[in-house]
Structure 1
């Protein structure tokens, strides 16, 4: 397997990615390719390399990259605007189409957590995506942020977002919060408490404006456009952040071919043994069926 650091442009920002080429390629051979989409405040050098290597070992060309504002990519720091990230993914597909190692008619997307919402969204709006796999994602951004909060906390969040919008309009400055505060589920708080010790680069302060845009983001509104292209959803049945019910609703709204798998784990367990290998194999089997 060969790996390169690559760059491409998304609107006005230069994005950085890792390009994985499978071993055993013959001269001039073009292979199916997969774009990897990371989570809400993720960066490409955490979690994604495990999946990229497993997909490349299965014979796929793989591109993982940092969304604008994260990791090695340019752009306003730590701003998470769902539709901007969708554009980043679509521009990653365009870059892949231009590569001599890639069969441009066989490009898929795979995403996890927030990327697990982006993968079906991109497939719904971009027919170049021939197969999509989402894991531990969601279909409705408002439910994502509200279901993890009590009724009082929901009202407080709505007041905070309204006040922050007013402040941005009047002063040009808005507030921000760390990911464990914004995505305030017990599993998320526990994960970041440990993860930041090993990977301090995970720290980020996400503008409240991003939360406002997340509340408006609804992959469920476009998932019915994917068929007859293929969609696999892999959810965690004990997920307290991206509730499994959200993926069930996405699945019910989608057309065939489709598949929903529920794993008996929590949101972040999917990134630990043996679930990384198991979930990757589920994705490989799906891509082998619908992308190769």
Structure 2
């Protein structure tokens, strides 16, 4: 499928994206797609963008500020900045002649699921939202041991601007330590194995779960693995239960979080569920 290079701005920062499925003389439903923590458009966001473009949608997978080919502070996970980037991506789709402005959705994978949820709650232009293996972060959930939570935040603030590896095998210090994330990351073009320590502070204080209750007019799809060591199935269920509008939940019988990134048959199952959901609601 042809891939169009799309450049747009978010708060004066240049973002780079890949547009798929745009056809001259047609206006189609469109999806802005956001991926995992520290991810780039050539990784899992691009996998789902390609699948959903093949299903008939215009899709935009893009690099958030600080990552991949986009501008901004390098390797820093900026929660409010990434939400601004999603608003800009929705705006870029709305301005494209191949897009029906009344039929725009957002899909997020891993941490992108949490961003997608919050973006949909804050932007009425988003008519439907889906999270796949989503990270529906909740400071209240993370702070069930308040002393440990505060100590972690204090340590991160003290070294906020320092860089650390994004992934490392078991035993190595990293934002995502362990063989599972290490097995996935590292081979994509434009991806760098680094994030700021402040990125982890941003994630631990980001309330994605609280946005679910605001989706009274926005249909929600949650696709999640029954076993997931990195993005809690408990929080996925909580996000689904809190959403008051039309909603759908699809459990996938995979064994690892990253199985929903690029492993079969799980990606086909998740992409198929998303395509059917967006076809109904967009």
Considering the TM-score relative to the shorter chain, is it more than 0.5?
yes
For the residue of structure 1 that corresponds to 2:18, the secondary structure is strand
For the residue of structure 2 that corresponds to 1:96, the secondary structure is helix
Describe the shift of the 1:20–1:7 C-alpha distance in structure 2 as closer, same or farther (beyond 3 A): same
In structure 2, stretches of 5+ residues that fail to align are 168-172
Q: Report the Cα offset of residue 228 of structure 1.
A: 2.1
8 Å CA contact 2:138, 2:209 repeated in 1: no
Give a deviation string over 1:154-192, Cα, whole Å, max 9, x none.
Answer: 575234124235xxxxxxxx32322234544xxx52134
- Cross-structure match for 2:260: 270
- Cross-structure match for 1:177: 164
- Cross-structure match for 1:110: 107
Please state if 1:279 is matched with 2:274: no
Matches of 1:132 and 1:196, distance apart in 2? 26
Q: Which among 133, 145, 158 is matched to residue 153 of structure 2?
A: 158
Describe the shift of the 1:287–1:65 C-alpha distance in structure 2 as closer, same or farther (beyond 3 A): same
Matches of 1:59 and 1:200, distance apart in 2? 26
For the residue of structure 2 that corresponds to 1:214, the secondary structure is helix
In structure 1, stretches of 5+ residues that fail to align are 166-173
Matches of 1:222 and 1:152, distance apart in 2? 26
8 Å CA contact 1:144, 1:242 repeated in 2: no
8 Å CA contact 2:128, 2:220 repeated in 1: yes
Matches of 1:52 and 1:245, distance apart in 2? 27
- Cross-structure match for 1:95: 92
Give a deviation string over 1:204-227, Cα, whole Å, max 9, x none.
Answer: 321122222222211122222222
For the residue of structure 2 that corresponds to 1:140, the secondary structure is coil
8 Å CA contact 2:69, 2:190 repeated in 1: no
Please state if 1:258 is matched with 2:255: no
Please state if 1:234 is matched with 2:229: no
Please state if 1:249 is matched with 2:244: no
Q: How does 1:125-204 map to 2 (within 5 A)?
A: 125-142=122-139, 157-164=152-159, 174-180=161-167, 181-184=173-176, 189-196=178-185, 198-199=187-188, 201-204=190-193
The structure that is helix-richer by fraction is: 1
Normalised by the length of structure 2, the TM-score is 0.89
Flag the structure with larger Rg: 1
Q: Report the Cα offset of residue 143 of structure 1.
A: 6.7
Matches of 2:205 and 2:86, distance apart in 1? 19
Q: Find runs of 4+ consecutive structure 1 residues off by over 6 angstroms.
A: 143-147, 150-153
